[in-house]
Amino acid sequence: MRKFTSEISEEDFGKKVTLYGWIHEVRDLGGLVFVVLRDREGFAQITLPKKKVKQEVFERAKNVRRESVVKVVGEVKKEERAPNGFEIIPEEFEVLNEADAPLPLDVTEKVPAELDTRLDHRFLDLRKHRVFAIFRVRSEVLNATREFFHERGFIEVNTPKIVSTATEGGTELFPITYFEREAFLNQSPQLYKQTLMAAGFDRVFEIGPIFRAEEHNTVRHLNEATSIDIEVSFTDHNGVMKYLEELIVYIHERVVENCEKYLNWLNVKLEVPEKPFERITYDEALEIVSRKEEIPWGEDFSTPALKVLAEHMQGYYFITDWPTESKPFYAMPYENRKEICKSFDLMKGWLELASGAQRIHKYDLLVERIKAQGLDPESFGFYLEAFRYGMPPHAGWGLGVERLLMAMLDLKNIREAVLFPRDRQRLVP
Amino acid sequence: MRKFTSEISEEDFGKKVTLYGWIHEVRDLGGLVFVVLRDREGFAQITLPKKKVKQEVFERAKNVRRESVVKVVGEVKKEERAPNGFEIIPEEFEVLNEADAPLPLDVTEKVPAELDTRLDHRFLDLRKHRVFAIFRVRSEVLNATREFFHERGFIEVNTPKIVSTATEGGTELFPITYFEREAFLNQSPQLYKQTLMAAGFDRVFEIGPIFRAEEHNTVRHLNEATSIDIEVSFTDHNGVMKYLEELIVYIHERVVENCEKYLNWLNVKLEVPEKPFERITYDEALEIVSRKEEIPWGEDFSTPALKVLAEHMQGYYFITDWPTESKPFYAMPYENRKEICKSFDLMKGWLELASGAQRIHKYDLLVERIKAQGLDPESFGFYLEAFRYGMPPHAGWGLGVERLLMAMLDLKNIREAVLFPRDRQRLVP
């Protein structure tokens, strides 16, 4: 029976197992050859004493090139000197696909490589357990997120990525040729998830790609990213902030529970944050920041400003009550102080992970805000129609999967959190 | 406490509940007004005897326009003449957002509408329970799929949608302007999920958008669709066909279990299919078809040909062993009969739902097949590199979510299975 290396336990001692994997290392001691087989879950030592294994098996193992793919069938023997306390004495050793040499990237990490080189040969880079572990955690994050929302009566939706309208004005969009027309790649499901509130869906979530033609290359921007989006009717910004902090806690719990090994590979000690997260208003944040950085009221915080703020804040926290002019047109202004709105960002340190708000649900106010931001209501045809025939009050947010992984796993570059990142320069692989 | 209309039961009789929803109908009998409130889960009768409710509440309910959004707080009373056996006597009746009149689309379905009109005003169309039900089932299908794969050790991945290489040659791709370069929208995660096999991920799945610039408008084609893709190492076409039929059965079980109400709204009697699904080779299918339709050996089946075949086949079935030349370059030819390959389609009736194969994992054979199909190996740089340094044997498939929903729910047009479909003409909403 086929097993992952990590599935071999004392119960297998004396039994025959089948392993598939890659040749991590071969040590040839003459009459004795040690092969380290690697699969995604761990390593196994294959021991070949010349006198105890078939000659063809011995020869194959001795000569196999590193990173070749093999099938090994053999008996598991207790061996305390082996890294996992066992070894396999193979009766079969089949090379399923021989690797060329030299390798363009060292999988054992004895030779460190630049990120660009790693990404150029990403399939080899991902064979490193430390790198693979990020995507094992990512998969768990996605699964936990879906469980969380399905259990709470949310409907999972897929909204179009090819669109005719810009969500927040025309900037930062990738143009696409849609037959004889111009279209764009959607930068956010915003207009569609709001439309679904008008459709009576009550609560929706989507996990999907978003596309932003941002010119600048930074360690926290991607041109194609994965976003977790929700929209909820009959609630306000406080209601969806509660969902957000509960989700973050749930994700941490699930990752701690199910990814211990992978967190160890990453050398990350993950702690489950406590609810509720700290809340700080924009005005309060501005006051802290202004001791060191000059930011005029109404403007977004610069990176240096956020780094000042981060020195004062522990763990995850919300910045609330943003200036209306600093947020998109659909954010709901406070009734009694229209220059600020019911908007929030979820932060960890200086990193913005999510952004959300109670939305405007009244047609007239929405048109007014669209115009105030210098946009043309005419270009929001289908979206605006949804506000005329029974749009409920609603709120929502978008959370960047890669940003969340950066925060959880303390990654220094957002590209580490994507299998095949897209940035200003990178379109391949 | 807020409840959905469907959550009100005998236990609530005599208690106060809060309902949010849309005005489905108002019947004014003078001294008595009946309002039917609709939410996504059902209906509730709001009864307003003039003498028993506050005057302002009575006036508001009497005058509220259809499809307006309301909040109703009131006592639940047993009332056998009401559709659900209860009525609400409101003490609060707040109009949260008044709908304009006339409505561009009738939500009560008394006036039937063309699909195009329905899609133009999709937010109103989706308020119909029969239409909403499709997306409730869709959400369940997605959730069941993820559960199925997470339980089986698959890693959920997201591969890029902006790519530089065409998967299967240059046709049917939407071009995009990626800064100063040309790029494309990916038509399938094929090359990336195979690359992840070389990365040692062993088993991956992805649920994400795929984009095809197909010129023809049919009832079963979309230009943007959602695809469930898997790729598995150390197995062959039979191994992944087994996953596919198990998944289909699991999805049916879960939908039958959790979506009874929605299936009733759709008037669909869903039966769980039995495993294993029937398997028929291409040659056998061709023989059946050729009694009525002339298809030369090696060609794909036309729609009329598939309709002939469908008359002979019950439920879900596989067509296997396709001519190598009819399938993409990465399909593995049989060793002993190279003109056919280890490829399969999953069918229901005349509808193709999924397509898969054991893939070629040997570099030389792959290059040979790329050339044989008139493609240039040079344009497959990063993909081919992955085959040189330890690519395991592997197999996989892609399953169209919308096609599956068509098959399960007996939908006549694939556009019914998408919230906001994209086709040759439609880019809005």
Q: What HEC string does chain B produce?
A: CECCHHHCCHHHECCEEEEEEEEEEEEECCCEEEEEEEECCEEEEEEEECCCCCHHHHHHHHHCCCCCEEEEEEEEEECCCCCCCEEEEEEEEEEEECCCCCCCCCCCCCCCCCHHHHHHCHHHHCCCHHHHHHHHHHHHHHHHHHHHHHHCCCEECCCCCEECCCCCCCCCCCEEEECCEEEEECCCCHHHHHHHHHCCCCEEEEEEEEECCCCCCCCCCCCEEEEEEEEEECCCHHHHHHHHHHHHHHHHHHHHHHCHHHHHHHCCCCCCCCCCCEEEEHHHHHHHHHCCCCCCCCCCCCHHHHHHHHCCCCCEEEEEEEEHHHCCCCECECCCCCCEEEEEEEEECCEEEEEEEEECCCHHHHHHHHHHCCCCHHHHHHHHHCCCCCCCCEEEEEEEHHHHHHHHHCCCCHHHHCCCCCCCCCCCC
Query: What pLDDT digit, counting tens, does each position of A347-404 carry?
Result: 999 999 999 999 999 999 999 999 999 999 998 989 999 999 999 999 999 999 999 9
Inter-chain touch A386–B123, beta carbons under 8 Å: yes
Inter-chain touch A209–B209, beta carbons under 8 Å: yes
Nearest residue of chain B to residue A203 (CA atoms):
B40
Bond into A377 cis (ω within 30): no
Partners of B2 on chain A (C-beta within 8 Å) are 234
pLDDT computed for residue A1 by the predictor: 81
CB B225 within 8 A of CB B209: yes
Q: How far are the Cα atoms of A37, A45, A86, A158 from residue A83, in angstroms, in the given order?
A: 12, 8, 7, 46
Nearest residue of chain A to residue B141 (CA atoms):
A156
Cβ-based contacts under 8 A for chains A and B: 257
Looking at the fold, whether B92 and B147 belong to one and the same domain comes out as no
CB B138 within 8 A of CB B103: no
**Nearest CA distance, B305 vs chain A (angstrom):** 30
Question: Higher pLDDT residue, B379 or B226?
Answer: B226
pLDDT over 90 at B167, yes or no: no
Looking at the fold, whether A82 and A214 belong to one and the same domain comes out as no
pLDDT computed for residue B165 by the predictor: 77
Burial A179-193 (b: 16+ CB within 10 A, else e): eeeebbbbbbbbbbb
List the one residue out of A355, A327, A361, A362 whose CA is nearest residue A341.
A327
A65 is in an annotated binding site: no
Tokens of A391: 């749009």
Inter-chain touch A158–B418, beta carbons under 8 Å: yes
Which candidate in B59, B92, B172, B214 is catalytic?
A: B214
A214 catalytic, yes or no?
yes
Looking at the fold, whether B298 and B216 belong to one and the same domain comes out as yes
Inter-chain touch A123–B198, beta carbons under 8 Å: yes
pTM, to two decimals:
0.97
Looking at the fold, whether B270 and B129 belong to one and the same domain comes out as yes
Query: What pLDDT digit, counting tens, does each position of B27-85 carry?
Result: 999 999 999 999 999 999 999 999 999 999 999 999 999 999 999 999 999 999 998 99
Query: What pLDDT digit, counting tens, does each position of B345-390 carry?
Result: 999 999 999 999 999 999 999 999 999 999 999 989 899 999 999 9
Give percent of chain B with pLDDT exceeding 70: 99
Query: What pLDDT digit, counting tens, does each position of A306-327 carry?
Result: 999 999 999 999 999 999 999 9
Q: How far are the Cα atoms of A149, A202, B249, B428 from residue A157, in angstroms, in the given order?
A: 12, 12, 22, 17
Domain annotation covers residue A426? no
Nearest residue of chain A to residue B71 (CA atoms):
A234
Q: Report the CATH number at residue B255.
A: 3.30.930.10
Of A139, A175, A234, the CB nearest to B156: A139
Terminal C-alpha separation, chain B:
35
Q: Report the CATH number at residue B31.
A: 2.40.50.140
Using pLDDT thresholds of 50, 70 and 90, give the confidence band for residue B169. low
Looking at the fold, whether A239 and A355 belong to one and the same domain comes out as yes
CA distance B305 to B288: 9
Inter-chain touch A126–B233, beta carbons under 8 Å: no
**Nearest CA distance, B188 vs chain A (angstrom):** 14
Domain annotation covers residue A116? no
Q: Is A95 helix (H, G, I), strand (E, B) or coil?
A: strand
- For the complex shown, is ipTM > 0.95? yes
Give percent of chain A with pLDDT exceeding 90: 94
Domain annotation covers residue B10? yes
Looking at the fold, whether B87 and B189 belong to one and the same domain comes out as no
B355 catalytic, yes or no?
yes
pLDDT over 80 at B168, yes or no: no
Looking at the fold, whether A65 and A127 belong to one and the same domain comes out as no
Domain annotation covers residue A382? yes
Mean pLDDT of all residues in B192-201: 98
pLDDT over 70 at A429, yes or no: yes
Q: Which domain holds residue A145?
A: 123-417
CB A123 within 8 A of CB B385: yes
Question: Higher pLDDT residue, A169 or B114?
Answer: B114
CB A260 within 8 A of CB A270: no
Of B135, B183, B392, the CB nearest to A97: B392
Domain annotation covers residue B106? no
**Mean pLDDT for chain B overall:** 96
Of B160, B201, B391, the CB nearest to A97: B391
Inter-chain touch B165–A213, beta carbons under 8 Å: no
Bond into A276 cis (ω within 30): yes
Domain annotation covers residue A429? no
pLDDT computed for residue B170 by the predictor: 59
**Nearest CA distance, B361 vs chain A (angstrom):** 8
pLDDT over 90 at B172, yes or no: no
A212 catalytic, yes or no?
yes
Domain annotation covers residue B424? no
Looking at the fold, whether B128 and B239 belong to one and the same domain comes out as yes
Looking at the fold, whether A257 and A291 belong to one and the same domain comes out as yes
Domain boundary pick from A97, A115, A143: A97
Domain boundary pick from A79, A97, A115: A97
Domain boundary pick from B41, B63, B97: B97
pLDDT over 80 at A166, yes or no: no
Nearest residue of chain A to residue B222 (CA atoms):
A160
B220 catalytic, yes or no?
yes
pLDDT over 70 at A169, yes or no: no
Partners of A178 on chain B (C-beta within 8 Å) are 174, 223, 427
Domain annotation covers residue B110? no
What is the number of other CB atoms lying within 10 angstroms of the CB of residue A239?
16
**Nearest CA distance, A230 vs chain B (angstrom):** 14
**Nearest CA distance, A26 vs chain B (angstrom):** 15
Number of domains in chain A: 2
Of A163, A200, A209, the CB nearest to B161: A209
A355 catalytic, yes or no?
yes
Inter-chain touch B139–A126, beta carbons under 8 Å: no
Looking at the fold, whether B196 and B283 belong to one and the same domain comes out as yes
Tokens 């409840």 belong to residue: B3
Inter-chain touch B68–A213, beta carbons under 8 Å: no
Inter-chain touch A213–B179, beta carbons under 8 Å: yes
Summarize the annotated binding site of B as residue ranges: 168, 212-214, 220-222, 352, 355, 359, 400-403
Looking at the fold, whether B189 and B84 belong to one and the same domain comes out as no
Query: What pLDDT digit, counting tens, does each position of B235-262 carry?
Result: 999 999 999 999 999 999 999 999 999 9
The A181-185 sheet, strands edge to edge: A162-163, A181-185, A175-178, B175-178, B181-185, B162-163
Inter-chain touch B195–A429, beta carbons under 8 Å: yes
Burial B107-145 (b: 16+ CB within 10 A, else e): beeeeebeeeebbbbbbbbbbbbebbbbbbbbbbbbbbb
- How many alpha carbons fall within 13 Å on the CB side of residue A122? 27
**Mean pLDDT for chain A overall:** 96
pLDDT over 80 at B166, yes or no: no
Looking at the fold, whether B303 and B410 belong to one and the same domain comes out as yes
**Nearest CA distance, B243 vs chain A (angstrom):** 17
CA distance A178 to A233: 33
